[in-house]
Structure 1
Amino acid sequence: MRWLRTFGAVVRSGLTIEETRLEPLLALRTAAGVALVVGPALWLVSPAFAASAALGAFSAGTATFQRTWRPRKVIALGAGAGLALSTFVGYLAAGRLATFLPLLAVWAFAAGMAWALGSTAGIVAATTVGSMLVTVTLPTSVGLALGHAGVIALGGVAQAMLILLFPIRRWGAHRDALADALAAVSDYARRLQDDPAAPFDPEPLMTARDAAAVTPSQARTRPPVLHGPRGLAERIVPVVAALADPDVGAPAEGPGRDRVRELLNAAAEVLDAAAHAIRRGTSAEVPPWSADVLRLDGLGEVLEEPARQVAEELVKLLAETLQVAGGDGAHEKAPASSGPARAQFLVRPTLFRLLPVVVRAVRRELRRDSPVFRHAVRLAAVAPLGYLIASPLPVGHGYWAPIASVMVMRPDFHRTYARAVGRLAGTLAGVALATGMVRALGPDAHVFGALAVVSAALSYTLLRTGYAYSQCFTAAYVVFLLGMGGHAWEQTVPERVVLTLIGGALAMLAYVVFPAWETPRLPGRLADWLAANGRYAAAVLRGYAEPTREHRADMRGALLASREARAAWQEAYDQARQEPVRPRGLTSREAEDAQEALKGFDRATMLMESHLPGADSRPAPEVERFAEALEANTAQAAEDMREHRNPDWGRVAEALDTWEGVAGDRSPVLRRGAQLQKKALDNLATAVSRTPLERDVGSAREEQRVRAALASEGDGSTPARGGG
């Protein structure tokens, strides 16, 4: 029953239309790249060469739509080269199964391991497996094989040339990432007006940081506006959190709280304006009332220390944000800082220096429990198996079965199954649509070539709205391509549907036979997040104990590690909720409560970070003892959680009891932060601490709760939050 319910959710997910911004100009340019190589090849050579050219141009164009921070032209060239190489190598081994199947298995395994470098590398590598399998017109000599490989590579070159000659939203992805980060901070400021304890999701800031890493050549052409706002957004987050907190910021009620709400609302307006300016490449236009609110005059009358100090810092940071983002002078009443002293950038290795990075990334994933390694093993098994199953069948183009498997398989359960459903639904619709047009128009290679280009354009346009909908026009594109090559629709259409069904079934079965479930790994992911949070909190406390630049650098590194651990937990938690397996060691309710506890711990540390003393402040060695106790206790508790033992906070409690406070105006912030950290750790212990009998009972109750939740989703009602 659990599998049936999960499969129902998978079907709904696979057919869901995603709300996203369409990019018709990009789709038109990429489709023009397909036409640029198909047309001349069809007119000057043959339909067979035109089909090869279309394969390279279409696949290289699809690669440029993946989320990547490298130049799109580089991605197109790399995809075209990979497709050409796999096609030629596949031809050399295609004469006998004894040589072709081992090559196919090794190539598919390498393509699966490419996910160690990210989703873009994994998806592009999967297309090279498909090109190795495609035999629309198998060359009869090495010379012809080189010719087909060359025309496939030419498709990537054509896409790269169009990107170079007709740039559309150059640096657009980087602008969107930075604008999304500022918008996320803006949304956080708005939520703090009503909920001073609201959590902040750092994922947009992490994405913006990833986008900020550029190669030296990119750094020379990157717009100046992409240099500074991300660092300002990072500094604004703890400041607005501290300003809204009733214990270390504004009072819970009264004129001070009203003034803080005005400041937070004005901050949100400024950040939205900066985000819009960065996204569109225009000047930031801030409403006049926001500029009036963000004045330093009168802050001392309604806000006391340390809230007034934080409010002043916020106004300065917002002024600098407007200055860097291209403000139009609406904020001249606020003091503006000088901005970044010099342009710095995070280094991204060039393609010629990627080899050591690739080796390290792949080596990290070469272990039995790695989802990437298991995905590679499944690909290596399914691609040859699909080829063996489909080859003896009384149909042509048996390669469509393994291609369908390879293109839908992903390292996680939900996306693999959802894409299999989406591919089958899209194939059925696309084949039906294209078949009707083929029958109505009759055999005409040039008409079919034009229709293939139109289908490619529609596929690119809908690529980000849902896999099933883009796959519909991809299937139509293939039908027109086969028709252009002289294949009768009666032979190709039923075959493609049946073989797609076989390929999707093989992909689903492979995950069942050799899964990579995230549910059993949740306690370990949670433990990693706890340990990283403990190191981050200790680094912030040491910034109070001894304010030095070295400690600030350590704090930044610990913060990034904590965010990475949190992102890994969130990804695993989201995947586990979609898996059809029984919770082990941590039920859904316990995971949710533990997640909220660690978010509270994060927030407490962030409040401390907002009041870090300057380098000229006197040391506070009393804080060092609490930092040591906190780091040691969280590290030990993480090990206990991995071994399914209950955590203990004895050292933290003892250090907090003996801590007499730190003299000076930062003492209230430290005390408040330490108390919130201890409370969050207690909440975490409450969430995960159980006896073995309670764990067995909790798993059974969790299964009942999931059943009730899924049933209520089916009839549109909202389930009550029950015990786990």
Structure 2
Amino acid sequence: MTWLRALREILRTGLAIERKRLEPLVAIRAAAGVAIVIGLALWLVSPVYAASAALGAFSAGTATFQRSWRPRKVIALAAGAGLAVGTFLGYVAAGNVVTFLLLLAAWSFTAGMAWAAGPTAGIVSTATVAAMLVTITLPGSLVQAVEHAVVIFLGGVVQATLILLFPVRRWGAHRDALADAFAAVADYARRLRHDPTAPFDPGALMTAREAAAVTPLQARHRPPALHGTRGLAERIRPAVAALADPALGAPAEGPQRDRARELLGAAADVLDAAARAIRRGTRAEVPPRVMDPLRIDEDDEVLKGAARQAAVRLVALLREVLEVAECGEQRSSRAEDGKSAETPFLMRPTLIRVLPVVLREMRRELRPDSTVLRHALRLAAVAPVGYLVGSLLSPGHGYWVPITAVLVMRPDFHQTYARAVARFAGTLVGVALATGVVQLTSPDAYLSGGLAVVSAALSYLVMRTGYAVSQAFTAAYVVFLLGMGGEEWDQTVPDRVLLTLLGGILAMAAYLVYPAWETPRLLDRLADRLAANGRYAAAVVRSYAKPSAQGFADVRKALLDSREADADWDEAFDRAKQEPVRHRGLNRREAEDAAEAIRALGRAAMLLETHLPTRDGPPVPEAALFAEAVEADTAQAARDVRARRNPEWDRVEKALDAWEGDDGGGVQERVVRRGAELQLRALEDLTTAVDRTPLERDVDSAVREHRARAAEAGKADRGEKAAAGRGTGRLGPPSEPRQERDENTAPPPGGRS
């Protein structure tokens, strides 16, 4: 992507307004926490303390809107504690500029490294840097520093108390995550009716799995409908895919295909009903007309062979879904796979026990090519530099430069630039609105506090609709808050706008000076995805060779690893498409073709997963040799992709040739052999996608540049001829540019046609 296109996309993203479901009750509750803190501080102490308390309450309330599966009250307490500690340390070091800058750099670096634990930890930690920069401007001694820190922490306590006393849709996010998983599989089943090889995005399933991890305290209070149901959606997805696939399921045409479409439609309706029941906490309502197609007649069933096996598996899973959904909040008494209904839950450590995990993740990111480390180093440099620049330009309000820079910076290029644009635009609108209100009302401290609370409520309400929109109300909130402390609008508004602009420019410049481009790492991401999907494919085929409980566990682990690698690739590729840099060894078309081939490899494994034999099922000895060949060749191919060598599949081809020499075997062996053929075909497609020498890539790049220059010359030539044609009543002959394009599209010497 060129810089011009990248900047246009940044403007579009930064100023975009998304249509999201609003949560007015949650916004009112968070704003009530800010109001309580401001009111008590104004009544009992002073406007200065009210500003500190409002900072803690507002930031703690903002933290609860971040995506996290922990209870919101825990997030509020953790945010309040972090803000209090950062404030106190900033007060202690504020007496000496050098000491404070060193502390600011170290604290910013730690906040940047917190992104290793996830976006929520990174965002909350970044807010503590902003608190450190704001509160040290308030006059006071060491004793007052402790008082301000306690007041800020009390803001978090108030927010947590309100969440505890006035819960809004308890377990709502977890219900939505599980319901979205069932709805995604339902949509997949409908698409398979018309496109038997339609792709599936496992993002909803991955989110549901994240939501299913709970702490021991959460596990004791979790609704029964959220326990153990997710596994059904996981198992239904390969079942519908195997039924629809022409290679391993129903034929492409004929009565069996019609029957498969009928079953897929009924499955989609049942899954949608289950999703609605889970989301609302009610019983599922499925009309009888939906259940009729799910009856499989032992004698007159149209489906045969592997398609029939997939249909039987699908119907059994759908009946389990109905048993859970139709009982509402009552736990189903039926066990899954012979196990007790009290299945073990995914463990999430408490905040105290998660600290060693976070430290371990931070240590893993301490490497030169880490995106998180580069982000932390940028924060550590930008915060002190911004503080010095802001102090020189505006001694009273210079902290807005580092605050803006720190809050808009993200580990990737596009988000950093888009947030910088959005923050400046939102600030410009917010301070303009707040200034107009101040001029019209001339508010005192109490009215300013009330206007600040209203602005906070609106900021919370539109938090998820776009950063620019929420930032407009946040900017107004700050103007009213400073006015409550006695500062006039003409003392704050000009500085607020100009210093915000300077902070955004500083954040953008920092990324250019020390970037963390995702584009150069695409080959590594592609290799990781290939290796992970190769292990998954090998684990599935190996389970046919020796069915066992351990084999099923290996398949599950390999599946989760492949999903994580797929998600990493998708995220990296999306980021790379938005970066104004180009990969010299892998263009966009090649990356898309290679990713599609690897997706086909994973899909072939998923189809086989539906027909996995039971623990006492007949083994398929030939599958073991093929599984070893797939795992070995894909591991070597991953190394070849990183080194820009052409991958080869000699061992896989030999294993499949040896297997095909045996014409015996039942349905099970024919299914797994057909799946092995699909895997080899996907691997060969991958070779086709990346099988190009460096010389061919250089020639092709030169040809593309020549095409671009020729196209520009053609446009200019057509413009001149059009101008001449307007004088003669005709246009120039269209054959010349057409001939030029045909010559330019000829394949390079030695290249693929």
Note the alpha carbon deviations across 1:625-668, whole angstroms, 9 max, x for none. Answer: 11111110000000000011111111111111111356121122
Counterpart in the other structure of 1:355: 355
Pairing 1:562-581 to 2, within 5 Å after superposition? 562-581=562-581
Instruction: Give the secondary structure class of the aligned counterpart of 2:637.
Output: helix
Structure 1 gaps of 5+ residues are 710-721
Number of residue pairs the alignment of both structures matches: 709
Distance 1:614 1:114 in 2: 44
Contact 1:588 1:702 (8 Å CA) reproduced: no
Q: Equivalent residues in 2 for 1:199-210 (5 A)?
A: 199-210=199-210
User: Is the 8 Å Cα contact of residues 324 and 339 (structure 1) preserved in structure 2?
Assistant: no
Tell me the secondary structure at the aligned position of residue 347 of structure 1: coil
CA apart distance, 1:285: 1.3
Find out whether 1:653 has 2:688 as its counterpart: no
Return the alpha-carbon distance in structure 2 between the equivalents of residues 498 and 135 of structure 1. 21
Structure 2 Cα separation of the partners of residues 278 and 435 of structure 1: 47
After superposition, the Cα gap between the structure-2 partners of 1:530 and 1:705, relative to the gap in structure 1 and judged at 3 Å, is farther
Match of 2:142 in 1: 142
Tell me whether 1:370 sits opposite 2:370 in the alignment.
Answer: yes
- Distance in 1, matches of 2:656 and 2:247, equals 18
8 Å CA contact 1:172, 1:279 repeated in 2: yes
Out of 682, 685, 688, which is 1:683 matched to?
685
Distance (whole Å) between structure 2 residues aligned to residue 681 and residue 88 of structure 1 = 58
Quick check: 376-385 or 357-366, which moved more? 357-366
User: Which residue is equivalent to 2:60?
Assistant: 60
Q: How does 1:114-263 map to 2 (within 5 A)?
A: 114-135=114-135, 138-263=138-263
Choose 207-216 or 111-120, whichever is displaced more. 207-216
Structure 1 residues 161 and 552: alpha-carbon distance in aligned structure 2, compared to 1, 3 A threshold:
same
- Compute the displacement of 1:336 (Å): 11
AA aligned opposite 2:667: D
Q: Partners in 1 of 2:703 and 2:209 — Cα distance?
A: 41
Aligned residue identity for 1:680:
A
Asked if structure 1 preserves the Cα contact closer than 8 Å seen for 2:544 and 2:620, the reply is yes
Which amino acid is the alignment partner of residue 675 of structure 1? E
Query: Of 672, 676, 690, which aligns to 2:674?
Result: 672
CA distance in 1, matches of 2:336, 2:615: 22
Give the structure-1-normalised TM-score.
0.95
Distance 1:615 1:701, change over 3 A: farther
* Distance in 2, Cα, partners of 1:407 & 1:83: 15
Cα distance in 1 for partners of 2:494, 2:262 equals 65
1:712 paired residue number? none
Report % sequence identity. Answer: 68
Residues 321-374 of structure 1 show CA distances to partners (whole Å, capped at 9, x for unaligned) of 121123589xx9x99998853232011111121122012100110111000000
Q: Could you tell me how far apart the structure 2 residues matched to 1:459 and 1:522 are?
A: 37
User: TM-score, normalising length from structure 2?
Assistant: 0.91
2:130 maps to amino acid: G
After superposition, the Cα gap between the structure-2 partners of 1:698 and 1:160, relative to the gap in structure 1 and judged at 3 Å, is farther
Shift of 1:157: 0.2
Q: What does residue 89 of structure 2 align with?
A: 89
| Structure 2 equivalent of residue 693 of structure 1 | 695
CA distance in 2, matches of 1:336, 1:153: 46
State the distance in 1 between where 2:58 and 2:707 align.
46
d(CA) in 2 for partners of 1:415, 1:703: 30
For residues 684 and 554 of structure 2, the distance between their equivalents in structure 1, rounded to whole angstroms, comes to 27
Contact kept in structure 2, 1:57 and 1:152, CA below 8 Å: yes
- Aligned-partner Cα distance in 2 for 1:119–1:501: 25
Of stretches 145-154 and 687-696 in structure 1, the one that deviates more from structure 2 is: 687-696
Note the C-alpha offset of 1:137.
5.2
CA distance in 2, matches of 1:216, 1:70: 12
Would you say the 8 A contact 2:285–2:326 is kept in 1?
A: no
C-alpha deviation, 1:585, in angstroms: 1.6
Deviation string 1:102-161 (CA, Å, 9 cap, x unpaired) is 000000000000000000000000000000000475232111111111110000000000
The alpha-carbon deviation at position 704 of structure 1 amounts to 9.1
Distance 1:74 1:35, change over 3 A: same
In our comparison, the structure showing a higher alpha carbon Rg is 2
Alignment-derived partner of residue 473 in structure 1: 473
Aligned Cα root-mean-square deviation (Å): 2.2
Q: Which has the higher mean CA deviation after the structures are superposed, 316-325 or 383-392? A: 316-325
**Is the CA contact (8 Å cut-off) linking 1:179 and 1:278 kept in structure 2?**
yes
Q: AA paired with 2:348?
A: R
Q: Contact between 1:104 and 1:384, CA under 8 Å: does it hold in 2?
A: yes
CA 1:701–1:107: 2 relative to 1, 3 Å: farther
**CA, structure 1 residues 286+237, in 2 after alignment: closer, same or farther (shift >3 Å)?**
same
Give the deviation of 1:393 after TM superposition. 1.1
Secondary structure of 2:574 counterpart: helix
1:279-302 Cα offsets, whole Å, 9 max, x none, are 111111113211112112368431
Unpaired stretches in structure 2, ≥5 consecutive residues: 712-744
Separation of aligned partners in 1, 2:337 and 2:300: 21
CA change 1:703–1:268 in 2 (3 A) is farther
- Which AA in structure 2 matches 1:21? R
Distance 2:701 2:491 in 1: 52
1:451 aligns with 2:443: no
C-alpha spacing 1:495/1:121, structure 2 compared with 1 (3 Å)? same
Structure 1 pair 271–702 and aligned structure 2 pair: CA distance change class (3 A):
farther
